[in-house]
Amino acid sequence: MTTPAVHAWFDDATNTITYVAWDPATRQAAIIDPVLDYDHRSGRASHHSADTLLGFVADHGLTVDWILETHAHADHLSAAPYLKDKTGAAIGIGSRITEVQRTFAPVFGLDDVSGEGREFDRLFRDGDTFALGGLQVEVIHTPGHTPACVSYRIGEAVFVGDTLFMPDYGTARTDFPGGDARTLYRSIQKLLALPPSTVLYLCHDYKAPGRDHYAWQTTVADEKARNVHVGGGVDEDSFVAMREARDATLAAPTLLLPSLQVNIRAGRLPAPEDNGRRYLKIPIRI
């Protein structure tokens, strides 16, 4: 199987890894999980990181065909619309984004979210394939963290989103609406059934205790043998008990509220109001 060339960027503010993957023969490329620079304290956003991606694309003579989201992220805002405007690429995500939209649009009182995924250019179902130059991309539905999570397999490389972390850190949380620990376990088993040498590219890293550097690339063999949550043949019931107990101790991500209301719109910010400013909504519960 032909494997893409891959380049990664680590976003220090959100611990997110964005990838550019491309066909070395045709130079056709995909950008996976791009980050919009957003400072929650000041409400300021910029496209510095996205412009860095575009600079890399230009320097390497790449043509961006796809902007791929592994899910509607709860820890960073997506730069997909800006990149689409600059490249003409199509934005794709898992087809069950419709469930996420229908869950969260009422939370924020959003009347401009379709609930049918129309904000995105392509909704992928499990097993769908599409071209990246001369390479084939296979979509693997890997829910559990969210209902809409997908992984993208390109040859011997798989971009797994939040499903798995480095072996010494474990697995994704499952306590968001629509998340489910048992479902996540079964999704992970789909990934671990791939050939042992398959390279897994992760969406986040937080440095496990005792590790002094960030890392985001591993293999099926390493995850299967050493992952602290699922490695060594951990059974489903044991995983579910561990995952649910761990999730009960976790705080909400810092950018949960701004991220979700933007990312279910495919990264589009709210329209400007009469004064020319855009406003995010923060629901208050008393």
- 7-55 residue pLDDT tens: 999 999 999 999 999 999 999 999 999 999 999 999 999 999 999 999 9
pLDDT score at 2 = 78
Question: What are the tens digits of pLDDT across the range 50-72?
Answer: 999 999 999 999 999 999 999 99
Whole-angstrom Cα distance, residue 113 to residue 95? 15
Band of pLDDT at residue 235, cut at 50, 70 and 90: very high
Residue range 118-142: average pLDDT?
98
**Local confidence band at 1 (pLDDT 50, 70, 90 cut-offs):** low
Q: Which amino acid is at 29?
A: A
Q: What is d(CA 243, CA 171) in angstroms, rounded to the nearest whole number? A: 8
**Predicted confidence band at 103 (pLDDT cuts at 50, 70, 90)?**
very high
Percent share of the chain, pLDDT over 90: 98
Residue 283: what pLDDT?
92
Quickly state the pLDDT bin for 233 (edges 50, 70, 90): very high
**Site of tokens 């400007």:** 272
Task: Encode pLDDT of 204-228 as tens digits.
Answer: 999 999 999 999 999 999 999 999 9
- Between the alpha carbon of residue 156 and those of residues 111, 135, 194, 218, 264, the distances in Å are 41, 11, 9, 12, 30
What integer pLDDT is reported at residue 181 of this predicted model?
Answer: 98
Instruction: Compute the C-alpha angle 161/141/177, nearest 5°.
Output: 70
pLDDT above 80: residue 139: yes
What's the whole-number mean pLDDT along residues 135-156? 97
User: Average pLDDT for residues 163-176, to the nearest whole number?
Assistant: 97
| Single-letter amino acid, residue 206 | Y
pLDDT at 245: 98
Q: 113: Cβ–Cβ under 8 A, 6 or more apart, which residues?
A: 101, 105, 119, 264, 265
List of E strands, the chain: 5-11, 16-22, 28-32, 35-39, 44-46, 63-68, 77-78, 90-94, 122-124, 129-132, 135-141, 150-154, 157-159, 199-201, 217-219
Residue 172 has pLDDT above 60, yes or no: yes
The topology under which CATH files domain 5-251 is Metallo-beta-lactamase; Chain A (3.60.15)
Domain spans in the chain, listed from the N-terminal domain onward: 5-251
The percentage of residues in the chain with a pLDDT greater than 70, rounded to a whole number, is: 100
pLDDT higher than threshold 90 for residue 285: no
Q: What is the average pLDDT value for the chain, to the nearest integer? A: 97
Quote the CA–CA distance of 77 and 8 in Å, as a whole number: 18
Residue 214's CB: how many other CB atoms inside 10 A? 14
Q: Do the bridges between strand 199-201 and strand 157-159 make them parallel or antiparallel, or are there none, so unpaired?
A: parallel
Angle 264-19-232 from CA coordinates, rounded to 5° = 90
Estimate the crossing angle of helix 181-192 against helix 236-247, to 10 degrees. Answer: 130
In the chain, what is the straight-line distance between the N-terminal and C-terminal CA atoms, in Å?
Answer: 55
C-alpha–C-alpha distance, residues 58 and 69, integer Å:
22
